[in-house]
Amino acid sequence: MEKKDIIQSFKDSLFTGLIALALFGPIVGLRTASKGEGLYITPQWGIVFLLVGLCIIGRFLINLNSARKTEITFFSKFTSKFSAITEDKAKHFAITAILFAIVFPFLPFTDRYFMDVAIMILTYIMLGWGLNIVVGLAGLLDLGYVAFYAVGAYSYALIATTFGWSFWICLPLAGVFAAFFGILLGFPVLRLRGDYLAIVTLGFGEIIRIILINWYEVTNGPDGITGIPRPSFFGLPFKRSPDEGETSFHLFFNLEYSTMHRIIFLYYLILVLALITNYFTLKIRKLPVGRAWEALREDEIACKSLGVNPTNTKLTAFAIGAMFGGFAGSFFATRQAFISPESFTFIESAIIVAIVVLGGMGSQTGVVLASIFLIGITEMFRDLEQYRMIAFGGAMVLIMVFKPKGILANRKPTILMHGDKK
């Protein structure tokens, strides 16, 4: 490399450092802290210089790399190899992952915190798989998916607290309610596509949230609903001291009482729900209705010319996607035992859409990887407090740079004439 080039890239790096300083200076450098009566600013110049230094060095390295003409292909090689493995050995990969998920609660390093994170990741995986039907297969960009999550959670909470029915009755009911709302949203947006559809669904998500806040008589408004019954293990509650005439889980199985029992049960519950979602999606993709969804995503006019009814096809996609959102919502309600409209803001929808898009539209395994990556990373950096959103953003940027079509973007045909050629 010539000397001129080095000087050039050095200047470029310094300029990058300047931009980094302008950004990190006020954002990271100045921190407000409350001491006694008022707010004081505590400067944190050390971190700022560290970040700026990192930016300068990083930029310089990128410049050096591009000057080498042959780029370092390590990362893209790694990811493409990874997708090749997951593709070839899709079955093995899935079985290993499921086995790991089953033994996970009993691994030696698994503690309460890990379990909570795992339950959260599984909830997002289930939501991602549900939304994958609407966005990935039917190609209807839905930015208000959290509305169905909310409908599921509130239907479960209201039915369970009002009638005192068990989780296993309320769960399907919540799914049915959510599916009904899916159809309700589906009707007015039948003629919309792309950006327009996205805006309307976004509005729908907000409408549901605002109704939940304002309809005080039913939803208890911003105070939320408390005392939602916990699920029981086939009639055996997870309680230290059961009520009169009741046997609780630990007594029945002669175990030492531990709060972990309930957590582990919840973990398996969401695992089973998520796997049902996955099985259902994989199955329905290979049925005529699934193929019609994908055809509709590709070309609606061609679909009409072949006699495919676009109205019914879209509505089934909305309804089924919403139903799984509703299931996930009722799980959320029973896990938290408390829900309020605050849990169902737009950011939730955005995260779920991000999981589907980053995973690779329509890819079931991609959703798993993206959920672990996005939710896992934000959890890992929880110590950084509000800066963990930077990690979230960084993770997204990394995926989009190296895998612009999503982590796993390959689509396999739903039916083969000649069988597997390999």
Partner 1 sequence: MSNLLSVENLTMKFGGLTAIDDLSFDAKNNQITSIIGPNGAGKTTVFNCLTGFYKPTNGQMFLHKEDSKISLRKYTDFKIAYVAKVARTFQNIRLFPVMSVLENLLVAQHNELMVASGYSLYGLLNLKTYRDKEQLAVDKARYWLDIIGLTHRADDNAGDLPYGDQRKLEIVRAMCIEPRLLCLDEPAAGLNPKESAELNKLLKFIKTEKQTGILLIEHDMSVVMGISDHVVVLNYGKKIFEGTADQTKNSKEVIEAYLGVDE
Interacting residues with partner 1 (CB under 8 A): 280, 283-284, 286-289, 291-292, 294-295, 298-299, 301-310, 411, 413-418, 421
Q: How far is the CB of 312 from partner 1 (least distance, A)?
A: 9
Rounded to the nearest whole angstrom, what is the least distance from the CB of residue 40 to partner 1 in the complex? 58
Find the shortest distance in angstroms from Cβ 173 to partner 1.
Answer: 20
The closest alpha carbon to 55, from 105, 86, 12, 98, belongs to 12
Q: How far is the CB of 12 from partner 1 (least distance, A)?
A: 40
Beta carbon of residue 299, minimum distance to partner 1 (angstroms, whole number): 5
Of 198 and 292, the one with the shorter C-beta distance to partner 1 is 292
* Residue 334 · residue 119 · CB < 8 Å: no
Alpha-carbon dihedral angle through residues 145, 148, 154, 155, given to the nearest 10 degrees? -170
The nearer residue to partner 1, 255 or 302, going by C-beta atoms, is 302
> Measured from the CB of residue 198, what is the shortest distance to partner 1 in angstroms?
21
Q: Judged by CB, which is closer to partner 1: 8, or 311?
A: 311
In terms of CB distance, is 103 or 417 closer to partner 1?
417
Q: How far is the CB of 288 from partner 1 (least distance, A)?
A: 4
What amino acid is encoded at 187 in this protein? Answer: F
In the complex with partner 1, the residue whose CB is nearer, 1 or 306, is 306
Nearer to partner 1, 132 or 334 (CB): 132
- Given a contact cutoff of 8 angstroms between Cβ atoms, the answer to whether 371 and 121 are in contact is yes
Q: Which is nearer to partner 1, 166 or 414 (CB)?
A: 414
d(CA 259, CA 267) in angstroms, rounded, equals 13
Q: CB 367 → partner 1: shortest distance, Å?
A: 19
Cα-Cα end-to-end distance for the chain: 46
Nearest to 133 by CA among 320, 353, 273: 320
Q: How far is the CB of 410 from partner 1 (least distance, A)?
A: 10
User: Please, which residue, 229 or 366, has the CB nearer to partner 1?
Assistant: 366
**Residue number with CB closer to partner 1 (164 or 419):** 419
Task: Taking the CA atoms of 99, 133, 303 and 181 in sequence, report the sign of the dihedral they define.
Answer: positive
Residue 411: CB minimum distance to partner 1, A:
6
HEC states along the chain? CCHHHHHHHHHHHHHHHHHHHHHHHHHHHEEEEEECCEEEEEECHHHHHHHHHHHHHHHHHHHHHHHCCCCCCHHHHHHHHHHHHHHHCHHHHHHHHHHHHHHHHHCCCCCHHHHHHHHHHHHHHHHHHHHHHHHHHCCCCCCCCHHHHHHHHHHHHHHHHHHCCCHHHHHHHHHHHHHHHHHHHHCCCCCCCHHHHHHHHHHHHHHHHHHHHHCHHHHCHHHCECCCCCCCECCECCCCCCCCCCCCHHHHCCCCCCCHHHHHHHHHHHHHHHHHHHHHHHHHHCCHHHHHHHHHHHCHHHHHHCCCCHHHHHHHHHHHHHHHHHHHHHHHHHHHCCECHHHHCHHHHHHHHHHHHHHCCCCHHHHHHHHHHHHHHHHHCHHHHHHHHHHHHHHHHHHHHHCCCCCCCCCCCCCCCCCCCC
For partner 1, the closer of residues 116 and 294 by Cβ is 294
Nearer to partner 1, 68 or 283 (CB): 283
Min dist CB 308 to partner 1, Å, is 5
